[in-house]
Amino acid sequence: MVDTPGRIPEDFIQSLLSRVDIVEVINAAVPLRKAGTNYVACCPFHNEKTPSFSVNKNKQFYHCFGCGVSGDAIQFLIEHNSLSFVEAVELLAGQLGMQMPQSGQSEPSADHNLIYNILAEATAFFEQQLRQQTLAKQAVQYLKDRGLTGITAKAFRLGFAPPGWDNLLTSIAKDPKQKELGVKAGLFVNREGNKFYDRFRNRIIFPIRNRRGKVIGFGGRIIGSTSDEPKYLNSPETPVFSKSHELYGYYEARQAIARSNSVLVVEGYMDVVSLVQAGITNVVATLGTACTEQHVQYLFKTVPEIIFCFDGDAAGKKAAWRSLEICLSLLDDQHRVKFLILRDNEDPDSYVRKYGAAALQVEMKQAASLPDFLFTTMAKQVDLDHIDGRVQFATQIKQYLAKLPEGILKTMLFDRLAQLVNVDPALFHGKKPRAMQRRNEFSQSIISKALVSPAIRALALLITYRELAADLATDIFSLVSIDIFGCNLFCAVAEILKASPTITDAEIKALLPEALRENFVVMDLRGIAHIVPKQGVREEFLGAIEILRRRKKELVMDDLLLKAKQNVLTDADKLLLQQMLQEKG
Ligand code: CTP
Ligand code: MN
């Protein structure tokens, strides 16, 4: 999402970012006001009267809830001051008194704005060619045959590069300076010193935009399926375009991504365009390269969940595994990564055209989490019934898990590995084996589960602070049977306390259904509750319940989507589904 990186070592950038204060950097350009833990202002990147631009000092990150821009201090300078990546880094390094690494000197001034301008002219040219050229008939027909509407083509600013060597050249580059600029922008190819020709010829053009909507490069597809030429031709790396940092469709999807808290990453231009048209709008594509750490890092700054979707062929599976390896070191407890491998060699585009968007949404819901994908893929390669296979399995998985950042997920996965290969988990944690514990299983794990289960957090707080019962809305009893650890127990206790808030712990226990009674371990619950500072109790409590409510909604939605797939929706179901999809955006 930045231009010309790669020449400055990543650790220099990281150490720069760890020293810089984004609040100071932005405040110098846009006066900020403190609001709660964040700082706010009217967004400098779009017109607005009430501030939706927010700067988070802890995360060292800005985000506009209005137009969707976001980034770190470097990104802010790139976008706001129209600097190149290297220039922004130099500026900050200068302010912090840090010495730039040798290789990081900026190139003699490539003027980014001029490059953006010529790319904008080219985009307009290609767009207009698609509409007017009689030669574009074939291209238009091809897009129609693939099911694309004019509205979609317009939204993505699709275009057409006519056949011939100099259509664009003669139209937008009259003088030598423009020609040179066009070469820098990746539009023209320079031959024998002063001869130039169009890079994109007789192709459908997919403009690639940066997150501010500026075109930074193009993908060009041949029309039809037979040609000696490669199917896609992309802009080369230029001062404003780096494939390993950019994602096709991000600009168009940014609001949908923010709304849905999840992003679908696919492989192709057509996949993005076709899915958006079908109503799955939180989608981006890597640009014919494998997914990189920069891609994942960037997406993780805006959403907690990435769903990778790959074709079901061998290449797709290989790409999925590469993405898994990239994600491991970035997968902290705040983020999730899922994998969806489409069956029958479909790609996302052909899948939605064949089965519909609702079916793909069901698949997305059921996508394997990264750990599940890791464990099942590796398990297929060994024989877990024999000791040799288990050793091999454990050795390999251990290497992958070791790359995860420290956290609950890592600990839990090592435990899961231990269980699978039937050894003491302490073996993987480098600790002495635990002494036998007397408490039941629920109790043993309750503390660690409380850290992840909102139901246990809510239960612990409710037991300890009985006045919270007054905050319980009646709808929480409908949360029973959600697939979240401890939810049934929480609902049962909540119901009892709502009816009689002054009841004793022993009386609650007596009133609980047999099956839940044994799990009601008051001492542990109080221990958990006391981890929460007093003034945060109510907020934590309501927050935990909100997570349960959201999960309930998700389950209802899953159910509806499944019915949609089986074509058994009632009218009431349809209405509800429509409402829920709208809410989700
Ligand atoms: N790609 C590329 N160069 C190629 C082939 C592919 O850059 N010669 C990139 C493009 O970004 C393309 C993506 O890889 O969108 C996925 O390629 P592929 O699955 O082959 O194409 P589709 O996107 O499915 O294209 P289409 O449906 O138009 O055939
Ligand atoms: Mn395709």
* pLDDT at position 430: 56
* pLDDT at position 103: 58
Task: Assess whether the C-beta atom of 246 lies below 6 angstroms from ligand 1.
Answer: no
Q: Which of 231, 265, 295 has most ligand 1 atoms within 8 Å of CB, for mutation?
A: 231
The helix (H) or strand (E) run that includes residue 197 is: strand 195-198
What is the tens place of the pLDDT at every residue in 341-393? 998 889 999 999 999 999 999 999 999 999 999 999 999 998 887 778 888 89
- Which residues face 69 on adjacent strands? none
Distance CA 131, CA 452 (A): 54
196 φ/ψ angles, rounded to the nearest 5 degrees: -130, 150
Determine how many CB atoms are found less than 10 A away from the CB of residue 340: 23
Please, are residues 449 and 486 in contact by the beta-carbon 8 Å criterion?
A: yes
284 φ/ψ angles, rounded to the nearest 5 degrees: -135, 165
What is the tens place of the pLDDT at every residue in 408-457? 999 999 998 988 887 777 777 754 444 333 334 444 445 555 556 788 88
The helix (H) or strand (E) run that includes residue 339 is: strand 336-341
Please, are residues 323 and 285 in contact by the beta-carbon 8 Å criterion?
A: no
* pLDDT at position 4: 44
Residue 229: burial class (beta carbons within 10 Å; 0-12, 13-18, 19+): exposed
Dmax of the chain from CA atoms?
91
Task: Assess whether the C-beta atom of 288 lies below 6 angstroms from ligand 1.
Answer: yes
**H helical segments located in 279-369:** 293-302, 314-328, 348-355, 357-365
- Which residues face 188 on adjacent strands? 198
* pLDDT at position 277: 97
Q: Which of 269, 274, 308 has most ligand 1 atoms within 8 Å of CB, for mutation?
A: 269
| CATH code linked to domain 5-96 | 3.90.580.10
Task: Assess whether the C-beta atom of 232 lies below 6 angstroms from ligand 1.
Answer: yes
* pLDDT at position 5: 47
Nearest Cα to Cα of residue 265 among 326, 203, 220, 222: 326
Residues of the chain under the 50 pLDDT cut: 1-5, 104-109, 431-445
Distance CA 199, CA 206 (A): 14
What residues have their beta carbon closer than 5 A to ion ligand 2?
Answer: 270, 347, 349
The answer to whether domain 381-435 has CATH 1.10.3470 is no
The residue ranges of every structural domain in the chain are 5-96, 107-234, 250-376, 381-435, 438-548
Distance CA 4, CA 238 (A): 7
**Contacts made by residues 130-134, CB under 8 angstroms, sequence distance 24+:** 130/158, 130/159, 130/160, 130/204, 130/205, 133/160, 133/162
CATH classification (class only), 107-234: alpha beta
Distance CA 239, CA 217 (A): 11
Q: Counting every residue, how long is the chain? A: 585
Q: How far is the CA of 300 from the centre of ligand 2 (A)?
A: 26
Task: Assess whether the C-beta atom of 346 lies below 6 angstroms from ligand 1.
Answer: no
Is pTM beyond 0.85? Reply is no
The helix (H) or strand (E) run that includes residue 209 is: strand 203-209
Task: Assess whether the C-beta atom of 252 lies below 6 angstroms from ligand 1.
Answer: no
Which residues, other chains included, contact 37 with Cβ-Cβ below 8 Å and sequence gap of 6+? 56, 57, 58
Provide the CATH topology of domain 250-376: Dna Topoisomerase Vi A Subunit; Chain: A, domain 2 (3.40.1360)
* pLDDT at position 448: 54
Please, are residues 217 and 186 in contact by the beta-carbon 8 Å criterion?
A: yes
* pLDDT at position 451: 57
